[in-house]
Structure formats: C-alpha cells, structure tokens
Chain A
Amino acid sequence: MIEAYLFYFFAVTTVLLAVTVVVQPNPIGAAVSLVGTFFSLAALFVLLHAHFVAIMQIILYAGAIMVLFIFVIMLLNLEPEKVKLRTIAGNRLVQGSAALYLAGVIALAFFGWRQFFTQGVVANEMEGTIEAVGKLLLTDYLVPFEMTSVLLLVAIIGAVILARKPVE
C-alpha cells in the first residue's frame, strides 16, 4: 500500500522536475532540476526492486555526469536566457508526427496500459541484485556488453585527442 503512495509521489515529482528542466530559464536551475529528476527516477527503480540500477543511476548520472555539466555551466558563466514562448521548429511533417506520437503515448497510458505493462512481468526480488545483473551481463549479453565497453574506450581516446595540445 505504502509502495503505491510512494510511486505516485515520485512519479509526479519526476514529471514536474522534468518539466522544470525545460521551462527553467536559468541554466544552473535547469541542471539542478535534472539532478532531481534522476534522483526520483532512481526512487522509482527502487520501487521495482532494481536497487543496482537505481544506485548506478545516482552514481553515474547524478554523481558524475551532472557534476561535469554544472562544472561546465559555471565555467562558461551562462546568463539566464530571456523566457520566451517557443514552438516546435521544422515542417508540418515533424510537428504532425510528434503530436501523433504524444497522442499515442497518452492513449496507451489511459486505455491499454494494464495489458501492455503487466503481461509477463513477474515481480522478482532477486532480479535487481548485483549477482543477477552481473551474471546476465557476462553470459547472455556478453557481446553487447563488450561492444559498449569498446564504444566507451573509443570515446575516451577521442576526448583525449581532442583535448590535448596540438603537437608542434
């Protein structure tokens, strides 16, 4: 019972903070709201018994990536933009498909979500543990896991090459 209340609380917080990220004119304020979004998203993962995913969300996104974001914003000393109403840029096709997608998602949420989300989902407390996630990563999903590592390595090397001083 209390889990349901917690879910609604964190779901509403997540959405509200996500909206704040978009409408907040101050870049630091937007970044802080994004940190809050990640935090309440992590809380939603905890409610799904996915503790490991939740804490990785906090360590990586809130604790590392957003720190660097805010670091950069501080160094650039961005001024708060003037708030002005902006509409979706682009042609009618883009606007139309975006509206269609949004309508589809809302319709799914209101009418079909029971069938869509509860089918085949078994609440298993052992699924989110480190042991379970680690076993899956190193057996069934070994190739995607290694490919992701290689991708990250390429990104790191690229960053080092871009950042270092040009050789005379």
Chain B
Amino acid sequence: MELIIAAIKAIVIVALILQLIPVLIWFERKGSAYIQDRRGPNRAQILGIRLGGMIHNLADVVKLFCKQDIIPTKASRIIYVVAPMIAIFVASATVGVVPFAEPLHLGGLTIPMQVADLNIGILYILGIGSLGVYGVMLGGWSSNNSYSLLGTLRASAQMVSYEIAMGLALIGLFLVTGTVRITEIVSQQTGFHWYAFTQPIAFVLFLTSLFAETNRNPFDLAEGESELVAGFHTEYSSMKFALFFMAEYAHIAVGSLIVSLLFFGGWNLPGLDFDWIRVYPEAALSMGLPALAVGAIAFGLFLCSKFRRHKYNDARDYEVLIFGVPHVLIGFLMIGATLLLHGTTLPTWVGPVLVAALQMGVVLAKTLFFCAFFIWVRWTLPRFRYDQLMDLGWKGMIPVALFNIVITSAWLVFVH
C-alpha cells in the first residue's frame, strides 16, 4: 500500500513539474513580447483557434519529434546521448523532497504530500542540483566542437562558483531555523514571519545564485548566442535539444518552488487559518465559495464582453468565449453548491482534503509568481561579462554570505 502511494506521488509530482514547462515557455514568449512591445507568437492554429499562442507549444513538440536526430561523427556517442538525460533527470529529481502541503490525515492513514520527508531535506536538493553541471559539461565536451567546449568551461566554472554562495546563504537560514527539513521550515513561517523578511541577505543571495545555477540571464554565458552560437548545446538537435530546453524550465519551476517554500512561507498565507478550516469545512466553504463564484463570474463576463463578431472574421473571434463561458458556468455551479451545502454536515474527510488542496494552491501560486519573476528578469537585464560574473560570485557574494553568517550567529548568541 505504502509503495503504491509512493509511486503515485512520484508520478504525479514529476508530471506536475513537466506540465509547468509548456506553460512557462508560453509565458516566456508572451512576456518577452510584452516587454519588447511586440505581439508574440500568434500564428499556429487548430481550425482557426490560436489561444493566444498556446498552440505554438504543440507545434514545437511536433516539430522537435519530427526533426532529424543528428549525432556528430566525431562525438563521443554514449556521453553525447546520456548528457541531456542527466540534465532532465537532475531537474526533475530535485522535487523528490519538496512538500506541497502539510501531511494529509485520512482515517488513521497519514500521507505526506511529498515523495520523501528526509532528515537531510534541503541538502538533498543541493546535492542533486550540484549534479546538474554534468549535463552541461558532458554535453558540451562530447559534441567535439570548440564553441560547445567554451560554453561548457564557462558553465561549469560558473555553476561550481555559485554553488558555494548558495550553500553559504542557506547556512544563514539554517542558523535561524535550526533544521533543514523543509516541512519544519515552512511550519515555522506562520503569519508574516517569512524568512525573506528575517533573513533578507540570505534570500537575495539564494535567489541570485539560483539564477546562476539555472543558467538564466543575466548569467546565461554558457549559451551566450552572440559569441558562442548556442554554447554547450550547439550540436544538439531534435528531442535531445528539447531535453536541455525542458531541463532549463524544469529548473526554473523547481527553483521557484524552493524559494517560495524556504523564504516565502510555503503554504502559509496571513489570514488563512488551516486548523480552523480543517475542523469547520462547511463554514469555510460557505464563505469561500461565493467569493470565488463572484470572481469567476466577473472574470467570465469581462472576457465575454470582449466578444466582437467581425473583429478578425475567423475563429479567433470566439476565443474569448472559450474561456469566458466556462468561467461563468463554474461561477454559477459554485453558487449552486453553496446553496446545497447550507445546513448539511460534510463527511469528516472533506476538511483535511480541502486544507491540502488549499495549501497546494497557495504554494503553486507563489511558485508561479517566482517563475514570472525569472522571465521578467531575463527580458530586463543585460548579460554579464565573464570576468564580472566571476568577480560578483567570488568577491561579492561569498564575502557577503560569510558576513551574513557571522551577523546571524552573533544575533543568535547575544540578542536572542
């Protein structure tokens, strides 16, 4: 039984991260278009329905599957094939210890909402994350291409350097929390006691080194296309390239998840009392559902009001209705459910399940905020020069992280 639950959790959580990837790619394209005052992707369509560029992801998948899969003749074949697998494995294996909600108690059965609640907690993430450099390194080396090798050398030096700053930043956090177990760290951050406010230096350092670890702008020298063609994945094509591409977005998703759990309170939201909701789910639902219903109906009506019959003179005219009408219907369903709920008592399992769903929702909302932040930064900041990058890592961030550790320890010893 336990094995089955563990297997289901592993599949669901990895699938969740993989599902976030197309959303992030769509958001990256639309976000960059918005920042650069363009329209963004809007051509790919199915029967005239374009969904604001979302169909492009589907077109991308078909294209990547159908492309010729080239392995350079002088490449080291095995390592060349294994490298993208390492990249995507590392990106998706780090979610193993990430909790999405408090453990769910269902009739004597306790289900932790994560694959494994390890005593080493975040260290597992650091450990598996430090293996991510192998995907880049082996991929670039085995391609047997000068640009790839240069990109690889940059990437591995950068990732190794910023891992130190990341680890030191987390030590400042560990000093305050007294534990590395993520569930405990989250449960300490009730109300507004988020560690982003009590450990601001650690938070800024961690977020910055996360950008470097994920090889995102302004730290994307590993694939600086203006000087290195495409860096370490120059020679990769078809689904092997797609695996590297997916790994980057999976890294963003997992990184955002970790930041929101460690520094932004995880599933804690000021004003939401989960113990109360667990005991009185009827009251919580009869207050929450109407509010959600009003929001959904208002949003649906707003979308429907954008409907113009002859705006484009094709199926695009009806796109707003595809989103608007279901929102209105869901809103009315919620009101109906509220009326039905009135005066009834729900079975005991509703409370815990409702709490778990709410907590997952809060965590995912915070995660998506940080994903958006990653994309926002990429299209706002220019890329670093290589010596600037190394200076920032070694002469800037590591001393500041050490300073943070000293200050935090002194505060804990003398003031606390």
Interface residues of A (CB under 8 A from B): 2, 26, 28-29, 32, 35, 51-52, 55-56, 58-59, 62-64, 67-68, 70-71, 74-75, 128-130
Contact = CB atoms under 8 A, between A and B. Distances in A.
Given A58-B131, A59-B127, A68 B160 contact: yes
Contacts of A32: 79, 134, 138
A52 B120 contact: yes
Nearest to A39: B131
10 contacts: A28-B138, A56-B123, A58-B127, A58-B128, A59-B130, A67-B133, A67-B134, A70-B137, A70-B138, A71-B137
A67 B160 contact: yes
Nearest to B124: A55
Interface stretch (B148-156, B214-222, B379-387, B390-398): B148-156
Given A29-B78, A58-B127, A62-B131, 17 more contacts: A28-B79, A29-B76, A32-B79, A32-B134, A52-B123, A55-B124, A59-B123, A62-B127, A63-B131, A63-B163, A64-B160, A67-B133, A67-B134, A70-B156, A71-B156, A71-B157, A129-B119
A55 B120 contact: yes
Kindly list the 6 A-B residue pairs having the minimum CB-CB distance in the complex, ordered from nearest. Answer: A63-B130, A58-B127, A59-B127, A55-B127, A129-B119, A55-B123
A64 B130 contact: yes
Contacts of B131: 58, 62-63
B79 A29 contact: yes
Contacts of A74: 137, 141, 149, 152-153
Contacts, number: 71
Contacts of A64: 130, 160, 163
B236 to A, nearest CB: 18
Nearest to A68: B160
Interface of B: 3, 76, 78-79, 118-120, 123-124, 126-128, 130-131, 133-134, 137-138, 141, 149, 152-153, 156-157, 160, 163, 180
A51 B127 CA distance: 12
Given A28-B76, A32-B138, A68-B160, A63 B153 contact: no
A56 B128 CA distance: 11
Contact of B76 (A26, A55, A68): A26
B118 A67 contact: no
A59 B153 contact: no
A130 B119 contact: yes
A2 B153 CA distance: 41
A128 B131 CA distance: 22
Given A67-B156, A130-B120, A130-B180, A59 B141 contact: no
Contacts of A63: 127, 130-131, 133, 163
A147 B220 CA distance: 40
A56 to B, nearest CB: 8
